[in-house]
Amino acid sequence: MVNLIHAQDIPFKTLKSEIFTDEYRKSDIALAESDGKGGIIVARSYEGTTFSYGTGYYFEQYDANLNLVKNQEYNMERPVSQKYSVILGLFNSGNAIQIIEMYYDLKEKACVCIGHSIATADFKATKKELFRLTTDEMDQYGYLNLRELFFSGSYKLWKTNLYPGYFFYPGNNSVDFFGNASMENENTASGVTFVINEDKTAFGIGIDLAARKSETLKVYLFDTNLNKKTEQYFRPGLKDNKFHYQTFEVSKDGNAVYLLGKAYDKKSKKKQEGGKYEYELTKFDLETQKTMAFDSGEHFIGSLKMLFLENKLTCIGFYSDKKDTRTKGICYFEIDPLALELKKSKYNPFTEQFIIDKYGKEKDKELKYLTFRKFLVTGNQDIMFNAEEVYANRNSSYSGGFGGGGVGGGVGIGVGSSTTYNYGDIVTAKINADGNLVWARNINKSQSTTDDENSYISYTSMIKDGDNYFFINAAEKIKKISNNRIEFKGVGKNRSNLNVIRVNQSGDFDYQEILDDEQNEVPFMVSKGVVSDGAIYFLGRRGKKKQLLKITL
C-alpha cells in the first residue's frame, strides 16, 4: 500500500502581484494567457451589487514580474430593449479576446448572439452579430427561453473551469449547484451550450429548442475569428421516445461538431439487464450529418465525456452494475471519428488500491456522487481522468418562540431550511492509450459551504512532465484517519493554507504546503485557477482587495 506522505521536494516558485482594489467586489479570472513577451494577458469578470451596479470585464496585461503594464474596463451595459444576457464563452483567438453573448431583443423579437472582440494590442472593442433566432423560426422548431435561463443563474457557470462543455438548463432541478445539467428533462426545457476545441481554431454552439411534439437541436460552428462555417438543425430519428443530449465537442481540425446523447427507444427498453438506452453519436461536418449507436450492455452509465486524441475519439465515464448513483469503475469507448465506427470498449473496475485509499480495509462499498472534472493528457497519450465527490444536503431548521410563560403561554415555531454544499474526495485515474486502467487513487478530502460560492474550496488541477498536480486550500493540520491514511479538511476561506498534491506517473502521491494563510493578505480562489504555459494563476480576494498569484512548477 502506497500512502500519501508529506513531502518537501516538490519544486515550485510563487510570485504575487501588488495588492490592488477596483470598484466591484466580486471578480473572477476568466482567462490568463501569455502575451508572447514573458508576461500575461488577464481577463477578469466582475459583478456589481445593489449599491454598485454593473457587469463586465477588466482586461489587464502584466509583465514577467506581475507588474501591471496596462488595463481597460469593458462594461457590458446594454439598452433596456436587450434583455436576459447570457455569456456563453470567452477565449483568446490570438489577436483578440472574444466574448460570446446571447440576449433577447424586445424590438427585434429575436434571440441574438453577438461576439465582442477585444484587441489584445490596445484593448479596443468591436462587435459582430453571429446569428439570431427569430420568433417565426422558434414558432416552427421550438423556443429558447433566455429569460428562464438568465434567472436560473446558469449563465454564471461558464466562468469556472470545473465543468466545461455541459448544456445549461433552466428550471427546477435541471441544473444542479455544481453545473451538471440533467439531460433527463422533458422537451419543455430549453438550453444552450458552448464548446471550443483544444487548438482554439473553432467553437460550436448548440441550442436545445423546447417543443412539445419533437426534439430539435440547432448546431452552429464558427472559426475563432467569428466566421460561420455551418449551421444545421438536428432531430433524433425516434418516434414516441426520448433523446437526452449529453455532451458536445468540436473536432481537432475545427471542421466538425460531435453530439453525444442517450436514446431511449423501444428496442433498448426491452433489455433484460443494464440501462434501458443506447448512446448515439452524431457528427455534423460542414454539410452533412451522420449517426452511429453503441450500447452499454449489462452496465449502467450515467454520462460520458468526449475527448479527441490524435486520430481517435474517446468517450469516458463512470459506470455501475447496480444503480446509476453508485459507481463501480471507469468505462472507455474508442471511436473512429471519420467513419463513426466503434473500435473498442472497456469496463475497468476500480483497483484494490483505490478501495483501500477510499475506505481503508473495507472493500464492499461503492462510490456515488462522483462528478467529472477534467481530462489531462500526457505526451504519450495516456489520459488522467480527474473527478470529485460533490453533493448537496438540504436541512430543515426549527426555531421556537415562547410567549406569556406558564399555563396558556403561546408557542410560535418558525420553519426554515438551509443547504450545505459538499466537496468531498478527489478521484484521479490513469488510462493508457489502449483504454486500460493503469491505476486509480482516492485523495480523502472534506470541504463544505452553506452557499453556492465554491471559489475557495474544491481544487484546480494541471499536468507537468506527466505528473498530475492538485491545488487545494486546507486546514493547517492535516487530519489522520483510519488505516494510516490522512484527510484534507477545509476550515474557512480566511483560515486555510494553500497546498499542492502531486500524483506521479506510477500513481504514488505526496503533498506540500505552498503558502500559509498568515503569509497571505487575501485568500486565493483555488477552484478557479487558470493554467497557462506551465504555470497556474489564482486570484485572491478579500472585500475589494485583490491580488494575483502565479505558481510555477
Instruction: Determine how many CB atoms are found less than 10 A away from the CB of residue 449.
Output: 19
Cell numbers 494553500 correspond to: 498
CB 99 within 8 A of CB 91: no
Taking the C-alpha atoms of residue 197 and residue 429, their distance in angstroms, rounded to an integer, is: 23
DSSP H or E stretch at residue 404: none
Q: How far, CA to CA in Å, does 158 sit from each of 45, 535, 541? A: 11, 22, 20
What would the grid cell of residue 401 be? 418562540
361 Rama sector, left if φ>0, alpha if ψ -120 to 50, beta otherwise: alpha
CB 164 within 8 A of CB 145: no
DSSP H or E stretch at residue 109: none
Q: What is the DSSP secondary structure assignment for residue 167, as one 8-state letter?
A: -
* Residues facing 40 on adjacent strands: 34, 62
In degrees, rounded to 5, the angle at the alpha carbon of residue 439 between the alpha carbons of residues 435 and 440 is 105
Beta 341-349 vs 370-377: how paired, if at all? unpaired
DSSP H or E stretch at residue 366: none
Tell me the DSSP string of 254-304.
Answer: SS-EEEEEEEE-HHHHT-SSS-S-EEEEEEE-SS-EEEEEE--TTSEEEEE
Name the nearest CA neighbour of 88 among 221, 227, 232, 192: 192
Q: How far, CA to CA in Å, does 429 sit from each of 282, 291, 350, 470, 533? A: 28, 30, 9, 13, 24
Q: Provide the 3-class DSSP secondary structure of residue 357.
A: helix
Instruction: Determine how many CB atoms are found less than 10 A away from the CB of residue 94.
Output: 11
The letter for the amino acid at 503 is V
Q: How far, CA to CA in Å, does 159 sit from each of 81, 85, 137, 373, 467? A: 25, 14, 30, 14, 26
Q: How far, CA to CA in Å, does 536 sit from each of 6, 253, 278, 469, 548? A: 22, 27, 39, 11, 11
What would the grid cell of residue 278 be? 443506447
CB 318 within 8 A of CB 300: no
Question: Which pTM does this prediction carry?
Answer: 0.87
Q: How far, CA to CA in Å, does 460 sit from each of 45, 60, 232, 424? A: 18, 22, 35, 14
Per-residue pLDDT tens listing for the chain (553 residues): 334 555 568 999 999 999 999 888 788 899 999 998 889 999 999 887 655 567 899 999 999 999 999 999 999 888 999 999 988 999 999 899 999 999 999 999 999 999 999 999 999 999 999 999 999 999 888 888 888 878 765 444 333 333 333 333 333 222 333 333 333 344 457 888 899 998 899 999 999 888 766 778 999 999 999 999 999 999 886 555 688 888 889 999 999 999 999 888 777 777 777 888 899 999 999 999 999 999 998 899 988 999 999 889 999 999 988 766 678 899 999 999 999 999 999 999 998 888 888 887 766 566 778 888 889 999 889 999 999 998 888 776 544 433 333 323 333 344 556 788 889 999 999 999 999 999 999 999 999 888 757 889 999 999 999 999 999 999 888 887 777 688 898 878 778 899 999 999 999 989 999 999 888 999 999 999 999 888 999 999 988 899 999 999 9
Give the per-residue SS3 of 17-73. CCCEECCCCEEEEEEEEECCCCCEEEEEEEECCCCCCCEEEEEEEECCCCCEEEEEE
CB 541 within 8 A of CB 534: no
Taking the C-alpha atoms of residue 319 and residue 151, their distance in angstroms, rounded to an integer, is: 33
Taking the C-alpha atoms of residue 438 and residue 12, their distance in angstroms, rounded to an integer, is: 27
Taking the C-alpha atoms of residue 255 and residue 222, their distance in angstroms, rounded to an integer, is: 9
Radius of gyration of the chain (CA): 24
Name the nearest CA neighbour of 312 among 332, 295, 289: 332
Q: For the purposes of burial, counting CB atoms within 10 Å of the CB of 172, is it exposed (0-12), middle (13-18) or buried (19 or more)?
A: exposed
Q: For the purposes of burial, counting CB atoms within 10 Å of the CB of 161, is it exposed (0-12), middle (13-18) or buried (19 or more)?
A: middle
The letter for the amino acid at 501 is I
pLDDT at residue number 264? 85
Taking the C-alpha atoms of residue 105 and residue 111, their distance in angstroms, rounded to an integer, is: 6
Taking the C-alpha atoms of residue 187 and residue 302, their distance in angstroms, rounded to an integer, is: 19
Give the per-residue SS3 of 301-344. EEEEEEEEECCEEEEEEEEECCCCCCECEEEEEEEECCCCEEEE
| CA-CA-CA-CA torsion sign (180, 185, 190, 195) | positive
